[in-house]
A and B are shown apart, each in its own frame.
Chain A
Amino acid sequence: MIEMTAIRKVYSTGRMEVEALKGVNLTIGRNEYVSIVGPSGSGKSTLMNLIGCLDTPSTGTYLLSGENVAGLDRNHLAEVRNKKIGFVFQSFNLLPYATALENVALPLLFAGISDKKCNERAKEMLERVGLGDRIDHKPTELSGGQMQRVAIARALANNPAIILADEPTGNLDSASGHVIADLFGELHAAGQTIVMITHDNGLAKIASRSVHIRDGGIVEDNAAIPRTSRRRSGPSYANSIPPRPSIP
């Protein structure tokens, strides 16, 4: 599914060059649920940009579903993002003036699908995330958890090869965070490949594999527990985080 070999990313800022990724090798198979964990400045956002074809590596090869995407031009990368990757952002990134249905239909429109089919598919995706009764609501009329579910429906719209989530519970209260984490668990159980960037250890633990990144390199790749057994009876988000201390 994802095969990254010797990926380097260098940013030039005037005379200085910053090496954000230093020869990363990463392979992610179909139906995996991978969390990429690392502190701020570790290179995980750069890695996410590259996995999501939002940016291209300075050197190295990146095969996504067998296609070398490292050297593609901007329009081809847009096509790859549209068809193969579903994004879930920390701050949802929904269009504020559009309804939930219109937001979910957006990637379908870019794929050149007719309006009628777009609406049918968008409605189907909203029903899948439990928001079938909110299709005409605008983001301002939805809670944070609901907005993120709309974003997940949008990510699923084009039936992508992978869901790429960047801190998907970062802007949510813990109850909504649990709902979203459980939704990701359900999607994974249904066969969806998920790559999640997070610094939330609780959220990272529910993934079947944790990749730790530091100083531009992978320092730990924890796939010790067999993925299949995790998929069948994966830990829930609620069980993966320690109980909160009671406030007197």
Chain B
Amino acid sequence: MTLSSRLAASVAQPRFAAVTVAAFALLALALAAIGLYGALSYNVTQRRREIGVRSALGASRADIVKLILRQGLAVTVAGLGMGLIAAMGLSRLLGKLLFGVTPLDPVAFLAAPGLLLLAAMAACLIPARRGASVEPTEALRCE
């Protein structure tokens, strides 16, 4: 058995655990993005008339996109805040499992929320663009 294969065998278990945790983290990220997309899409559908009214009163496409993005990102930022506080509290438990990084590693604590924020923005953008395409005549649809 070569030295490299011995080394690989010795770290196989923690590596498998790390890969599994990373896969679950990616799955959680995807689910969060899909959930946010679904909730915002539903919200835009429910608010078509209101968006039509705003548009009739002079809101530009950018105003509508901002309105919907703001709503989606407000939820995201609140979730990120709570998540970061929880992560800081729980990071002590991970201390013994980490090697070469501190439990409060600033890169990890910046990269993870940053990635989540990007995923959330991408998820919000589709419903926001759909909302911006609502015609102002929608305000009169039920008249």
Q: Which residues of A contact B (CB under 8 A)?
A: 45, 48-49, 52, 54-55, 74-75, 78-79, 81-83, 87, 89-91, 93, 95, 106-107, 110-111, 154, 158, 166-167, 170
Whether the pair B58, A89 counts as a contact (CB closer than 8 A) is: no
**Given pairs A55-B135, A78-B136, A79-B60, 10 additional interface contacts (CB within 8 A):** A49-B137, A52-B56, A74-B61, A83-B58, A89-B53, A89-B143, A91-B143, A110-B54, A154-B57, A167-B143
Q: Does B139 contact A (CB under 8 A)?
A: yes
When A91-B143, A166-B143, A167-B143 are in contact, do A110 and B137 touch as well, CB less than 8 Å? no
Chain A nearest CB from B6 CB (Å) reads 65
How many contacting A-B pairs (Cβ < 8 A)?
67
Chain A nearest CB from B129 CB (Å) reads 13
Residues in B with CB closer than 8 Å to A45 are 140, 143
Residues in A with CB closer than 8 Å to B58 are 78-79, 81-83, 107, 110-111, 158
Chain A nearest CB from B63 CB (Å) reads 6
Residues in B with CB closer than 8 Å to A106 are 54, 57
Nearest A residue to B54 via CB reads A106
Residues in B with CB closer than 8 Å to A158 are 58
Nearest A residue to B64 via CB reads A78
Whether the pair B142, A54 counts as a contact (CB closer than 8 A) is: no
Whether the pair B143, A75 counts as a contact (CB closer than 8 A) is: no
Residues in A with CB closer than 8 Å to B53 are 89, 93, 95
Whether the pair A110, B143 counts as a contact (CB closer than 8 A) is: no
How many residues of chain B have a CB within 8 Å of chain A?
A: 20
When A55-B137, A91-B143 are in contact, do A110 and B50 touch as well, CB less than 8 Å? no
Chain A nearest CB from B132 CB (Å) reads 9
Q: Which 3 interchain pairs have the tightest Cβ spacing?
A: A82-B58, A110-B58, A93-B53
Residues in A with CB closer than 8 Å to B49 are 93
Nearest B residue to A167 via CB reads B143
Whether the pair B140, A54 counts as a contact (CB closer than 8 A) is: yes
Residues in B with CB closer than 8 Å to A154 are 57
Whether the pair A75, B61 counts as a contact (CB closer than 8 A) is: yes
Chain A nearest CB from B131 CB (Å) reads 14
Residues in A with CB closer than 8 Å to B61 are 74-75, 78
* Measured CA separation A215–B30 after assembly (Å): 54
Whether the pair A110, B59 counts as a contact (CB closer than 8 A) is: yes
**Which residues of B (122-143) have their CB < 8 Å from a CB of A?**
135-137, 139-140, 142-143
Q: List 6 A-B contacts (CB under 8 A).
A: A49-B137, A54-B137, A74-B61, A78-B61, A81-B56, A82-B59
Q: Does B41 contact A (CB under 8 A)?
A: no
Whether the pair B50, A95 counts as a contact (CB closer than 8 A) is: yes
Whether the pair B54, A89 counts as a contact (CB closer than 8 A) is: no
Chain B nearest CB from A76 CB (Å) reads 9
When A49-B137, A75-B61, A81-B136 are in contact, do A54 and B56 touch as well, CB less than 8 Å? yes
Cβ-defined partner of A87 (8 Å) among B50, B56, B62, B135 = B56
Interface string of B52-78 (1 = CB under 8 A from A): 011111111111000000000000000
